[in-house]
Amino acid sequence: MGFDALGIEVRHSNFQNCLTIRDAYNLPNLEFAKDDVWNLDNYGPFDAIFCCGLLYHLDRPRDFINKLAANSNVVIINTHFATDKMSTVFNLSELTQNEGLPGRWFGEHETVPASELEELKWASWGNNRSFWLTRAAIFQALSDAGYNLIFEQMDQLAGFHGNNILNNMTDGYYATQDRGTFVGIKNFAQKLDSNTSK
């Protein structure tokens, strides 16, 4: 669509896969950095950040949301979240608090050498366990970070299992996987005020 885009990937093999796809599809506006996402400040600011499949692999999700907010006025976060009920799919801890917010801990892996960590493609990088915030805690963290238009995007559920959002929310993908897409936009009211006054 003409946007300049940057992806950040810490694992060497995944980084190489990113470059292969970029080159195969001739995407000159797409760049990748081989780095830890905690170094996001070295690359921003951005017009928007899409944080997909990452927040639930961090042990300090609130700190990372603050880092996202310091680098963009628009954030889209696709993530698993904790609920009041024990998950039947994921091995999560009892409901507790971390960084002043409710959620559950998820064990990622034992302490392993970097060479083994490189092979754990779907696991955390610098922490052995991760903290899954509750939905309410995600909303609160976004608000505390300065986003004043905050919502959960539900239309992606229409793409699962026959365009049935109701089924997905009650006993389908959304209900079983506890995963959603959360959006935060900063200074939304001020932008509306400035546009209506012109």
Domain that holds residue 25: 1-35
Cα 158 to its chain centre, rounded Å, is 20
pLDDT at 121 over 90: no
Q: Is residue 146 part of a domain?
A: yes
Among 134, 132, 121, CA closest to 61? 132
Residue 86 DSSP one-character state:
P
pTM: 0.89
pLDDT tens digits along 78-97: 999 999 999 999 999 999 99
Q: Is residue 40 part of a domain?
A: no
Q: Is residue 28 part of a domain?
A: yes
What's the CATH code of the domain at 81? 3.40.50
Other residues' Cβ atoms within 10 Å of the Cβ of residue 117: 17
Q: Is residue 94 part of a domain?
A: yes
Query: Same structural domain for residues 68 and 24?
Result: no
pLDDT tens digits along 35-84: 999 999 999 999 999 999 999 999 999 999 999 999 999 999 999 999 99
Q: Is residue 7 part of a domain?
A: yes
Query: Same structural domain for residues 98 and 168?
Result: yes
